[in-house]
Amino acid sequence: MRTLEVDLGDRSYPIYIGSGIRHSKSLFDQAIQGKQVMIVTNETVAPLYLDALVSLLAGDYQVDTCILPDGESFKTLDTYQMIMTRLLEVRHNRTTTIIALGGGVVGDMAGFAAATYQRGVNFIQVPTTLLSQVDSSVGGKTGVNHPLGKNMIGAFHQPQAVIIDIDSLVTLPRRELSAGMAEVIKYGLICDASMFDWLEVNMAEIMGLDSDLITEAIYLSCVAKSKVVSQDEREGGIRAILNLGHTFGHAIETEMGYGVWLHGEAVAAGSMLALDLSWRMGNLDNRDLERSADLFKAADLPILPPKEMRLDSFVARMSVDKKVLDGSLRLVLLEKLGTAMVTSDFPLDLFNETILDALEAVK
């Protein structure tokens, strides 16, 4: 088992990564507060892992469950309300612990419920998808979508622990595995060029779920994210670099309808748009673009936006992104491979050319 800590002072917490560790009662006992536990999961994950977790904890805790519909389209206030109703029905108090058992949607909504139930209760992340293991379960971002914008309703609320069992990836559809790999590649692009090099060498075996290599990929990703989060918990500065490709990607997700393109797919295409703009600004060379495109393709990810998108739809959707500040759109671009920057200072004509050329290429 690999262990690291997200250093946030009195809100610090451990991340555990290993095989079969969701069956380790001691890890849960260290993180659970009080005697009530609410396990929040969804209709896809519940048949696979819920009974085992209930059995593990039922002897020492009041264990209740809330099973949500599966999919990004259900990441809404109505679904969040299901969790709140369930907590109240079984009379959970402010010492309860909410356990998020599932992917990023479950983690975001269970975390938002934990942030707001009786003004904040304890919770544990047990992410079951690669995307949630390397990104959304770490850092305390929680929330739901609004029809006009992704993740526009939410709160920062740190978990008590993150328990990452790599065995859950065996049941993950290939498309979901690829979607998670978009975030892994992102860390190499924004802050760790040596990780990018390592991914180029090992991508085929990682996608084949080689135990040692997938564990290392998750560990390196969590190390990268935890370092950034420890410096900037609430995204007032450097943490924004974690959004490489996300402003473009969120526009794709919102325009296409949540769940049509998976988050990681949209981030991959969005990252290539950001890299293309960085190249047009003279920060990257052709070889950097080729290597990045090849790595995304090796993970079975798209490198172009959907053909249904238009320049005006990108602009309209990106204008309501959370990264808009004082009326100016901020983008995460690269200074060089392995180093990112957040800027509003990019030529509008090059921005337009990036999108238009990509849309032309996808026709």
Q: Which residues are catalytic?
A: 119, 141, 183, 225, 235, 239, 243, 246, 250, 263
Q: Do 99 and 77 form a contact (C-beta atoms < 8 A)?
A: no
* Encoded amino acid at 349, one letter: D
Provide CB contacts within 8 A for 343, sequence distance 6+. 330, 331, 333
Residue with tokens 């709160």: 155
Tell me which residue has tokens 């040692």: 212
Say if residues 75 and 106 touch (Cβ distance below 8 Å). Answer: no
Distances (CA, A) of 80 to 42, 63, 118, 150, 215: 12, 19, 14, 15, 32
Tokens describing residue 319 = 């204008």
Q: 97-102 and 36-42 as β-strands: parallel, antiparallel, unpaired?
A: parallel
C-alpha 193/C-alpha 172 separation (Å) is 28
The amino acid at 246: H
Round to the nearest angstrom and report the end-to-end CA distance of the chain: 46
How far apart (Å, rounded) are the C-alpha atoms in residues 187 and 140? 18
Q: Which burial class, exposed, middle or buried, applies to 125 when counting CB atoms under 10 A from its CB (0-12, 13-18, 19+)?
A: buried
Q: 């052709």: which residue's tokens?
A: 286
Q: Say whether 11 sits in a helix, a strand or coil.
A: helix
Amino acid at 272: M
